[in-house]
Structure 1
Amino acid sequence: MRKNKTGLVRAVNAKGNSRGSGLKRRFKKLALSVTAIALALGVSGVARAEAPAAASEMRDVLLVGNAQSGTVSFIDPYTFLNLGSVNVTEDKEERISEMGILKLLYDAFINENGGERNVDDVFLSPDGTVLYVSRGYLGDVAAFDLTAPGHRMLWRHPAPGFHADHAALSPDGGTLVVSDSTSKKAFLIDAVTGRRTGEFATGDFPHQNDFSPDGKRIYNTSIGNVLLPHALNFMKGERSLRIVDAESLQLLRTIKFPQGVRPNVFTPDEKTLYAQLSYLRGFVKVDLEQGAITHTVEMPASEFGKANYPNYDDFPKNSAHHGLALSGDGKKLCLAGTIDNYVAIISTETLATDRIMDGYDLPYWATTSSDGSYCFVSNSVEGTVGVFDYDTTQEAARIPVGEFPQRSRMGKAPQSVLNSLDPVQG
């Protein structure tokens, strides 16, 4: 690793491999010398050193779904090194050949409004040996064996509609819940067998899913019909948070919103929700006991955002800002200001902005590290992941990954799995 003049650590592939264009080519030139320095001197700057792990020892990893390259990158959240990747779309052409005309027309329209997205969400099994992927426009969910090179597909489950969207893995690792954007349903899958075990009704275009910490409830949010223009906002359908009993799948409560519910995070006591909404530069704070928005926080529009997204219908799939994470102590929010090309750190106590960091290219998702101290932001067009320190509000590193990184999730994997990764970064 190497620090630049601002103290930013530039991370590279742990195995000395780099590919891509633009910024990635610059990383390639540095890869060998930087890796040599890292090996000889240990990790410098703000990256935290770790002792070599035994083959069976579980290690924290950040999974990054590269939506357009169809891969999942594995990142060391302490050294900020790219450890390698898994190709999860080797069967892409076969899947496309099976699609009907309506599916192809739907995908053609969506691709004109954001590009191909074949990796939507990613999770690891509790033992770190199985990778689960919601495969977006391929319209399915698949599981991959990470115990041997080749990473064979264990099972695939076609979505009932056209698009497999955001997912969640139950705390015990036994059940996946996945939104099907076009069918107003979320469906549950047995993580071992790949068989569907149930489904429940949602609002229009269901999006994010979350299990409660005890696994007893499922929180599903919907964004409304993104194919309609802003002028027809009233026709976009139900945009809501639905709370469902995870065992019976009975609806417990519905909280409706005036706009689509985008990335959102809950406080551990499940009393407060912070959520981004379609068309809103900023976020809302929701009292879940009252079922009402208590605060709306508007963030500034950048000059780039005003010039390139002058109208609501220019927003990518209706979303202005798309990425929100909560620090481990609950004191800070990390916000991806997508169309404005910035990342912001915000105090949850005052809802005031601590810092806005410019210089990003369509930041599209945010995830908090396992220890709660860092925020990882997918910098989609650049093909990198930015690392932000909640305490200092500074960018600590920028890590090259694959094409159009989007969803990222924390997980654990044994060293034996990490040894089997493809050395390319994504």
Structure 2
Amino acid sequence: MLRIKLTLSLIILFGVYICPHASEVEYVLVTNEKSDSVSIIDIKTLELVKEISVGDRPRGLGLAPDNSEIYIAVSGENKIKVIEPNSFQVTRSFYSGDDPESFAVHPSGLIFISNEEIAQTSVIDPSSGKIIAKIQVGIEPEGVSVSPDGSTIVVTSESSNMAHFISGSDYKITKNVIVGARPRASCFSEDGKFVFVTSEISGEISKIRVSDGAVVNKITLSKDMAKPKDILLARDGKTLFVAGGRANEIYVVDSINMNVEDSIQVGRRVWGLALSSSGKLLFTTDGLDHQISVIDTNSRTVIKVVKVGQFPWGVMTYKP
């Protein structure tokens, strides 16, 4: 009897120490435009573990606030495909409006998605799969970002050279801010007071004050081939990582003073960016090399490349 009790105690104790390891599981998800697939990579091993078919030309992707669903914008089908995050199986889909490209998930769970061909941002309730609002924006909308408190949504319109500020409560445009040629993506500061916008053709990054829409600072990347696309804020709340497009570099920018601190060589036509939950690893989609680069954010060096599908576009991380 004593041996049984001791064994049970050891099992319980062992279980206590095992359980935390389950939470260390984390994945990278990559959309592949030409393979019509999503590649799934284990962050711990940095190995490809699965590739799933999702439909014609997947691009943007995102996660429900409660981690219950993963959303994929399938541009060639005008749909959002929904992936169950434990099995990584497509479970359902719903209409997204024409030509979905990028989107952002609001803290409420609503999806704000750019419909490039029709100059529109659609607001979708994923629980019903219905479009609940349509917002007319500039020509060829692309990037979408949401402030930390959900009060402001920013949509960039490539051919109008504008960043549109949209109210998160009534979905009305509150400001239209002129930025550099072909704005692609944006991200907010940690406190939501500023938004940073990349402009591909002009090679610029604009820092905009949210309260009044004033462009308070702007930098132009010096390298001739620098065509900034994706942008995100590091976990320190101060550092920006910027994908340089055909410059094949990641730019490290001080968000306070807007100075370029460093650059990191990656694969060809770097496009999308994502950080691990710890912030220690940065993942880039290198479209023309059909790979992702894995960057150690402390040393600012590439530690591995992982081959994925054809022409990777978007990337995100997911931790169960």
TM range (shorter): 0.7 to 0.9
Q: Percent identity?
A: 19
With CA pairs under 8 Å and 6+ residues apart, which has the higher RCO, 1 or 2? 1
Asked if the contact 1:131–1:143 (Cα under 8 Å) also holds between the matched residues in 2, the reply is yes
1:140 aligns with 2:140: no
The 1-side partners of 2:310 and 2:283 are apart by 16
Structure-1 separation of matches of 2:163 and 2:270: 24
Deviations 1:121-150 (A, max 9, x none): 11233454533111123322222345557x
Name the aligned partner's letter for residue 92 of structure 2: L
Distance between the aligned counterparts of 1:201 and 1:332, measured in 2? 33
- 1:157 maps to 2:92: no
Query: Structure 1 CA distance, aligned partners of 2:130 and 2:148?
Result: 24
Counterpart of 1:176?
A: 111
Unaligned runs of 5+ in 2: 1-17
Decide which of 188, 198, 202 is 1:266's aligned counterpart. 188
**1:176 CA displacement:** 1.4
Q: Kindly tell me: are residues 158 and 332 of structure 1, through their superposed partners in 2, closer, same or farther at Cα, counting changes over 3 Å?
A: closer
- The answer to which structure has the higher helix fraction is 1
C-alpha contact (below 8 Å) 1:354/1:393 kept by paired residues: no
Q: How does 1:199-210 map to 2 (within 5 A)?
A: 199-210=134-145
Q: Provide the rounded CA distance (Å) in 2 between the counterparts of 1:79 and 1:135.
A: 28
TM-score (norm 2): 0.84
The answer to whether the aligner puts 1:85 opposite 2:72 as a matched pair is: no
- Could you tell me how far 1:290 is from its partner in structure 2? 4.3
Task: Tell me what 1:356 maps to.
Answer: 263
Cα distance per residue 1:306-335 (max 9 Å; x no partner): xxxxxxxxxxxxx92222222111232222
Between the aligned partners of 1:384 and 1:244, the Cα distance in structure 2 is 35
For 2:218 and 2:229, the matched residues in 1 are separated by: 16
How far apart are the structure 1 equivalents of 2:256 and 2:62? 31
Q: CA deviation at 1:69?
A: 0.8
Alignment match, 1:6: none
Deviation at 1:350, TM superposition (A): 4.2
* Cα pair distance change 1:338/1:301, threshold 3 Å: same
Match of 2:156 in 1: 221
Partner of 2:11: none
Aligned to 2:253: 346
- Given the superposition, is the C-alpha separation of residues 193 and 286 from structure 1 closer, same or farther in structure 2, using an over 3 Å criterion? same
Matched, 1:67 2:33: yes
Aligned residue-pair number? 303
Contact 2:266/2:286 (CA < 8 Å) preserved in 1?
A: no
Q: 1:18-417, aligned counterparts within 5 Å?
A: 54=22, 59-89=25-55, 92=56, 118-126=57-65, 128-146=67-85, 151-159=89-97, 161=98, 163-172=99-108, 174-224=109-159, 238-301=160-223, 305=225, 320-358=227-265, 360-413=267-320
Q: TM-score, normalised by structure 1?
A: 0.64
More strand by share: 2
2:166 maps to a residue whose letter is V
Alpha-carbon spacing, 1:351–1:253, altered in 2? closer, same or farther (3 Å): closer
Q: Which amino acid aligns with 1:182?
A: E
Contact 1:65/1:121 (<8 A) preserved: yes
> How far apart are 1:256 and its partner, in Å?
2.4
Separation of aligned partners in 2, 1:158 and 1:366: 23
For the residue of structure 1 that corresponds to 2:58, the secondary structure is coil
Instruction: Give yes or no for contact 2:148–2:192 (8 Å, CA) kept in 1.
Output: no
Task: Tell me how far 1:78 sits from its aligned partner.
Answer: 4.2
Distance 2:87 2:136 in 1: 38
Instruction: Give the aligned residue type for 2:264.
Output: M
Between the aligned partners of 1:260 and 1:185, the Cα distance in structure 2 is 16
Q: Report the Cα offset of residue 368 of structure 1.
A: 2.5
The question of whether the paired residues in 2 share the 8 Å contact of 1:130 and 1:143 is answered with yes
Instruction: Quote the Cα distance in structure 1 between the aligned partners of 2:168 and 2:257.
Output: 34
SS in 2 for 1:182: helix
Judged with a 3 Å threshold, the aligned counterparts in structure 2 of structure 1 residues 389 and 331 are, in CA distance, closer, same or farther, namely farther
The residue identity in structure 2 corresponding to 1:131 is: I
- CA change 1:80–1:52 in 2 (3 A) is farther
Counterparts of 1:145 and 1:185 in 2: how far apart (Å)? 28
| Closer/same/farther in 2, CA of residues 343 and 147 from structure 1, 3 Å limit | closer
| RMSD over equivalenced CA pairs, Å | 2.6
Q: For residues 124 and 39 of structure 2, what CA distance do their matches in structure 1 show?
A: 24
Matched position secondary structure for 1:361: coil
CA distance in 2, matches of 1:82, 1:121: 20
How far apart are the structure 2 equivalents of 1:327 and 1:359? 18
In the aligned structure 2, how far is the partner of 1:146 from the partner of 1:370?
16
